[in-house]
Amino acid sequence: MTAARHYLALCGGVGGAKLALGLSHVLPPDQLTIVVNNGDDFDYLGLTICPDLDTVTYTLAGLAHPQQGWGRDEESWAAQAVQQALGVEPWFQLGDKDLGLHLARRAMLDAGQPLSAVTASITRGFGIAHAVSPMTDDTVRTLVDTDAGLLPFQDYFVRQRCAPVVRRLCYPGADSARPAPSFLAALNDPQLAGVIICPSNPYLSIDPVLALPGVRPALRQLAAPVIAVAPIVSGSAIKGPTAKIMRELGLDPSALAVARHYGDLLDGYIIDAGDMSAARQSGATLPLHACDIIMKTLDDKIRLARHCLDFANELAHRPRAGG
């Protein structure tokens, strides 16, 4: 591996953030760009909340709450306690330190900075050396079409706790949104050695990224391999509503069904070792790599990150099936 090789990770929130953290431990800052879904962003009490970006930021900074899957560790709740005392029951939890991030972002956005520049300032401010970028500086707002109506993502995810039955996902704004500068730069980098689609929800977290103009064609035309890590192990989502949504969309919630969803974008797929025999039986022709993909400890994340890089490098030296 030469020093100039570069990797691009595409991710959403919790699951993706874990692998992004692993990758940040095995790649130096100049060799990794982490592009994060921001179709989940929403405006709340005058603030622009970017749930996936913030989860990635807090995870990389070592500030994420270890269990709850959102927000900061060692958070305080003075502001929210006052809101509640005044009869306002917040449907989105905002701790004091988290509020500090949102207010800083509000100040920078109000000063005219694009979200990607704001994100770069924030991640640097938290001591993160690796490049973290929203997928776009433009506004994309994931909508979930459900039996309870067309819901903004956070309404579906937080307010309604994923209870409504999903019929369709759509990404208004994606058609005319431009990928953020460092996303474009990574896609066009001649030293790009691999793209890693992290184990995030394919419908809620990855598809908005892929929906941006030019992204799918760019991934298909890349010389470097595109791999994904399954967000499903033994038919269950590692985290979040992936399996539930797949069933509601009429799909069998298996690791391989996610690979079929990504289709010809993928040059390889990493699945849990326990799913390998089922995958072989299915007659999949996509190159598969099996390992333990559940990330509990930092060591798990680093180990899976190494598997990703090794698999991408192995694929780069194989004749490609589709290319």
> Which residues contact a second copy (rule: CB under 8 A)?
45-47, 76, 78-83, 85-88, 90, 94, 96-97, 99-101, 103-104, 106-108, 110, 121-122, 125-126
- The nearest distance, CB 117 to a second copy, in angstroms, is 12
- The nearest distance, CB 129 to a second copy, in angstroms, is 16
- The nearest distance, CB 91 to a second copy, in angstroms, is 10
- The nearest distance, CB 82 to a second copy, in angstroms, is 3
Contacts of 9 (CB under 8 A, 6+ apart): 16, 19, 20, 23, 32, 33, 34, 35, 195, 196, 198
94: nearest Cα among 85, 104, 81, 105: 81
What does the alpha-carbon distance between residue 235 and residue 38 come to, in Å, rounded to a whole number? 27
Judging by beta carbons within 10 Å of its beta carbon (0-12, 13-18, 19+), is residue 245 exposed, middle or buried? buried
Query: Containing H/E element for 32?
Result: strand 32-36
List, as one string, the DSSP characters of 151-176. Answer: EEHHIIIIISTT-SPEEEEE-TTGGG
Q: Which is nearer to a second copy, 128 or 295 (CB)?
A: 128
- The nearest distance, CB 240 to a second copy, in angstroms, is 27
Q: Which is nearer to a second copy, 23 or 49 (CB)?
A: 49
Q: Which is nearer to a second copy, 155 or 267 (CB)?
A: 155
Judging by beta carbons within 10 Å of its beta carbon (0-12, 13-18, 19+), is residue 170 exposed, middle or buried? middle
Return phi, psi of residue 147, to 5°. -70, -10
| Strand 236-237 versus strand 288-291 pairing type | unpaired
Q: Which is nearer to a second copy, 25 or 77 (CB)?
A: 77
- The nearest distance, CB 200 to a second copy, in angstroms, is 25
Contacts of 82 (CB under 8 A, 6+ apart): none
Q: Which is nearer to a second copy, 127 or 323 (CB)?
A: 127
Q: Which is nearer to a second copy, 104 or 162 (CB)?
A: 104
